[in-house]
Amino acid sequence: MSGLSSQKKLALNAAFIIICIGILIFLLRAPKETTSPLPHDDIHNRFHAMKGKKEAEQYCLDCHGPEKEAPLPADHPPKYRCLFCHKRQ
């Protein structure tokens, strides 16, 4: 960058600042998280103790699969990444 004129350096710095401000505005305007977290109850407590998400997610469809105790609605997003949205807290 030493071969650039001061005017080009100023333009590049200004472009960088504008891009950073644009990204910041985009992130600040993102909607709040609305997905309910993984419940802290007798049924779900064992999943909070598991180390990995994938380990815990393999049991979700035992209760939330079709024809089970608490089936997911038909319009529910992909059923294999439960803890991506329903976070453990």
- Sorted by where each begins, the domain ranges of the chain are 1-30, 45-85
pLDDT over 60 (residue 28): yes
* Predicted local confidence at residue 74, as pLDDT: 86
Amino acid at 39: P
pLDDT over 60 (residue 1): no
pLDDT confidence tier of residue 88, bands split at 50, 70 and 90: confident
pTM above 0.85, yes or no: no
* Predicted local confidence at residue 29, as pLDDT: 95
Task: Work out the angle at residue 49's Cα, subtended by the Cα atoms of residues 46 and 54, and round it to the nearest 5 degrees.
Answer: 90
* C-alpha–C-alpha distance, residues 47 and 26, integer Å: 34
pLDDT over 60 (residue 48): yes
